Amino acid sequence: MPATTLDRTGQTVTIGDTVRVLSVTTDRDMDEDQLEMFMDMVGSRCEVERIDDDGAAWVAVWWNGDEGTITTLVGLDPDQMEKVAG
């Protein structure tokens, strides 16, 4: 049985579903560039790559930077995402 979690409206979210990022949790030790990348994720539509044992849905955003492609990976709690109709 695949791992599932819920979004902010109570819809079931599974691996492969698309969600809209509503908010992210940041770390106060992040540098300014990292913080900007995380905050720019808000509003993005991302595919759920995995769901951990705590029910967080992990999504990634790919960025083209000066040093090549950069990936930002974040775990979203149910209140931080909304499932997008396929």
Q: Which domains, and CATH codes, for the chain?
A: 4-83 (2.30.30)
Contacts with 63 (C-beta within 8 Å, 6 or more apart), sequence order: 37, 69, 70, 71, 72
What is the pLDDT, as a whole number, of residue 83?
98
What is the pLDDT, as a whole number, of residue 2?
56
What is the pLDDT, as a whole number, of residue 32?
83
Q: How many residues are recorded in the chain? A: 86
Residue 62: other Cβ atoms inside 10 A: 9
pTM greater than the 0.75 cutoff:
yes
What is the pLDDT, as a whole number, of residue 1?
42
Note the pLDDT tens digit of each residue in 34-64: 777 778 889 999 999 999 999 999 998 887 7
